[in-house]
Amino acid sequence: MNGTGVPLVTPFDSSGRVDRTRLRDLVAWLEERGVDFLVPCGSSGEAPLLTTDERIRVVETVAEVTELPVLAGTGREGFEPTLETTERAAAAGADAALVVTPSYYDSDEEALAAYYRDLADDSPIPIYLYSVPKFTDHALAPETVASLAGHENVAGIKDSSGSLEAIQRLVRLTEDEEFAVLVGSGSIYAAGLTAGADGGVLALSNVVPGRAGEIYRLHDAGRGNAARALNADLVELNRAVTSTYGVPGIKAALATRDQPVGSPRRPLRPLAEAARGALESVLADALEATGEADSDRPT
């Protein structure tokens, strides 16, 4: 899981069911724009609002139509449901599992380390830790991550804290292991790569996959200044589709890019008209600033 990964949104049809046809179309659109791996059933995919069967249906659909690596979100609140979902995702074609930190009960670092270690012992596919304090109110301590990095079935972490310090510490503390540090915030993607991260899983990459992927390619080619400049041009768009409007914003932006994926699932609601207009303006500015092809701009 190196390079730029997409935490795929989950398309729904007019009846609120998973729309596999639109999902296949979205995967093809993203692949054509050069992303490196796909991450179904993460936060951007409304995973907490999906049943286990729906999650597996999404993973199976993605795995059937792509040759890119598939990192499936399988984390639940308890060990047994997470292991079951992970095993089923593996059978459906996932290459690895992204496991969010359980959050309902206030577990300490020792308990979380034991949870991940036990899961890695039993999982048929590699485990990636997922620290997203915005939703869980708990950031995995870099020392805890380092204690897990030597496990042969713990392959990496997606850190969505938005903290460059956290990325730097994770890289430093795990540098002696075969362990991938993935940036989870589009605003610090280039900076995280400069700090030694192996790639990213960015909500932003749903909307501008080519530009998000180019940040990694520029960095990989030794053009760090160009990567940081491109990233800076995308900061306002990243903010719009994450902290400002969230999943409804990503889905609205995709509709503007001629990739309709339906409405978000309740209790989330579609953007109001005024918010949609503001988002479209931010998206148009980002596409113009980054030199997207005319055919890829909003109509």
- pTM, whole model, 2 decimals? 0.95
**What is the pLDDT at residue 291?**
83
Q: What's residue 295's pLDDT?
A: 37
Question: Band of the pLDDT at 286, cuts 50, 70, 90?
Answer: very high
In the chain the first and final C-alpha atoms are separated, in Å, by 34
Q: Which residue has the higher pLDDT, 45 or 1?
A: 45
Place of tokens 């760090």: 224
The answer to whether residue 119 is domain-embedded is yes
Asked if the structure places residue 268 within a domain, the reply is: no
**Tokens standing for residue 231:** 């990233």
Confidence of residue 30 (pLDDT cuts 50, 70, 90): very high
Give the domain range for residue 135: 3-223
**CA pair distance 92, 64, nearest whole angstrom:** 9
pLDDT at residue 68, rounded to an integer: 98
Asked whether 13 and 19 are in contact (CB, 8 A), the reply is yes
> How many structural domains is the chain composed of?
1
pLDDT for the residue numbered 148: 98
For the cut 80, the answer to whether the pLDDT of residue 294 exceeds it is no
The confidence score (pLDDT) of residue 21 equals 97
Tell whether the model's pLDDT for residue 89 goes beyond 80.
yes
For residue 102, being part of any structural domain is answered with yes
pLDDT digit string, tens, across residues 131-165: 999 999 999 999 999 999 999 999 999 999 999 99
293 has pLDDT over 70? no
Known binding positions for pyruvate: 201
Does the residue 132 lie in any domain? yes
Give the mean pLDDT of 197-213. Answer: 98
Residues at the annotated binding site? 201
Handedness of CA 99, 101, 102, 104 (dihedral sign): negative
Active site members: 130, 158
pLDDT of residue 221: 98
Single out the residue of 184, 71, 69 nearest to residue 127, CA to CA. 71
CB 147 within 8 A of CB 115: no
The verdict on residue 283 lying in a domain is no
Give the model's confidence band at 297: pLDDT under 50 very low, under 70 low, under 90 confident, else very high: very low
Model confidence band, residue 52 (pLDDT cutoffs 50, 70, 90): very high
Average pLDDT, the chain: 96
**Of all residues in the chain, what percent carry a pLDDT higher than 90?**
96
- Average pLDDT (13-37) is 97
In a domain, 58, yes or no: yes
Does residue 233 lie within any of the structural domains? no
Residue 166 belongs to domain with CATH number: 3.20.20.70
234 within a domain of the structure (yes/no): no
Share of the chain above pLDDT 70, in %: 97
pLDDT(117) > 70: yes
Show the beta-strand stretches assigned E in the chain: 3-6, 37-38, 71-73, 96-100, 127-131, 154-159, 180-183, 199-201
Predicted pLDDT at 292: 64
